[in-house]
Amino acid sequence: MMKTVLLTMSLFGLYTLAPLGIPFGVYLLPGLVSLVLYLKSQKLFFWLLSFCGVLLALFIFNVLLRGGATEIGPQFVSLTLFFLTVSASTGFLLLVLNFPPRTIHKWSKLLIWLILVGLFLERVGPLKPVSDFVRGLLYSSELVYGNDLRDMTNYGFIRPKLFASEPSHVAKFFGMLLVVAVTTSTENFNKSLILIWSVAFVVLEPSVTAAPGIAVTVSLLVFQRQRLRTNGLLLKTVAVSGIGAGLFVVALQMITRLGFDGTPIEASAYIRIVEPAFMAVKSLAERPFLGFGVGVEEDIFHLINQIRGSATPLFVLTEKSHSVLAGNVFFSMFWQYGIVGTVLIWFFILKLVSMVSKAHFLFVILFIIIHSFSVADIHTPFFWGYFVMVLAGFWHLKHTQSLQQATQSELGIHNFQERKIN
């Protein structure tokens, strides 16, 4: 019963990422409780302790090199959030690993259907007032997506938010569930259902942030087809066609959004790609090794002023004139942590992937790479929550395949029972 309550709270917290006294508190609380209950692996404990120790060392060296700058308070708050996020996400990972894969699979399928039905009901009208009311309770005004005019211009309708702060968060969550539903399936999985889910979602909620989950799922269809009911040639044809169509759409989006077709750069593309890239380059020129740190926005306004000019979208100049737009993890890490910090943090991330699911290392990395382009900062659940949920799915896939291989070779299933990390 306790596990079910914690899983429910964790998934709700990850979907909404709503505050509870502190930022992301609804997600952090059950994760920290799960960490206390299920952290029994010395190896994982050492990983967590070492990671937090390195983060603390980076913080101390950054402060010392900056000569005790006045921004130590905000930096310490961001460091504390990083500690809490990594710890809670480790607990969330262990919680999911302590469930049978069949249970996680059922949860994933249920949530996928609920999301699709909810999106439909909000699109046609009845659920929209309820969704808007709940969003008003969960989020402050600056966190609520309100660019309905952009939606009407780009899509011809206002995209549903379904209790989340913005449409992109719904898409991220759906993509993650798609991966988990496939990886935790203990039987042959029907590819037609995956196709129905994906097409229905794209029609109801067009958002590029579903791409990480869909890309990894397509990869699984191609390289893990023994887990899926389908003809090999048909599968490859569908997969290649889907990838080709996806790349074509992405290319068109990049051309129009980045202004290569002669139109102005779209605000979202500028925020996610253009400004963060320039920020990374300029910050590396000034502070290459440890960066400026997190929570020091006022210290890097001079970099922003150097970047913003005539090509900057009006929305950014007016609505976001006092914001640091670190639009994706890859670029933001350089100005926040420098080369040394970036390398160390990625080392620990890759180490965790290797510890939990080395057999599917490349699939997890594919998800991380694509997902990171739609996440602003490495130190929040926007990155870690989705990462560990997908990682847990591949852990279940690894052990399910071990069971299947044991059965096929008549070695005895009892020798390959699901194991915890040790």
CA distances to 99, 147, 237, 238, 239 from 244, rounded to whole Å, are 37, 30, 10, 10, 8
CA distance 319 to 87: 34
Q: 29 to each of 7, 96, 117, how far by Cα in Å?
A: 11, 15, 29
Find the helix or strand (DSSP H, E) in which 365 lies.
Answer: helix 361-372
For residue 320, pLDDT beyond 70 = no
> How many Cβ atoms sit within 10 Å of the Cβ of residue 78?
20
> Which residues, in sequence order, are bridge partners of residue 229?
190
Residue 65, Cα to own-chain centre: how many angstroms?
A: 32
Distance CA 337, CA 78 (A): 12
Query: Averaging pLDDT over each range in 58-67, 230-239, 366-375, which range is the top one?
Result: 366-375
Q: Take residue 53 and report the two structure tokens written for it.
A: 């120790």
Query: Higher pLDDT residue, 70 or 352?
Result: 352
What is residue 279's predicted lDDT score, i.e. its pLDDT? 82
The DSSP secondary structure of 87-137, one letter per residue, reads HHHHHHHHHHHTS-HHHHHHHHHHHHHHHHHHHHHHHHSTTHHHHHHHHHH
Asked if residue 405 has pLDDT above 70, the reply is no
Residue 238, pLDDT score: 55
Residue 321, pLDDT score: 47
Q: What is the pLDDT of residues 22-52, one digit of tens each?
A: 999 999 999 999 999 999 999 999 999 999 9
The CA-based angle 91-53-62, given to 5 degrees, is 125
What is the average pLDDT across 107-122?
96
- Which amino acid, 252? L
Task: Look at residue 255 in the predicted model and tell me its pLDDT.
Answer: 56
Given the structure tokens 């790349």, which residue do they identify? 247
DSSP bridge pairs for 190: 229
Decide: 124 and 162 in contact? Cβ < 8 Å. Answer: no
pLDDT of residue 264: 60
Per-residue pLDDT at 252 exceeds 50: yes
Averaged pLDDT, 222-236:
54
Nearest to 197 by CA among 180, 15, 374: 180
Contact between 419 and 410 under an 8 Å Cβ cutoff? The reply is: no
Structure confidence by residue, pLDDT tens digits, 123-161: 998 899 999 999 988 888 767 777 787 788 778 899 999
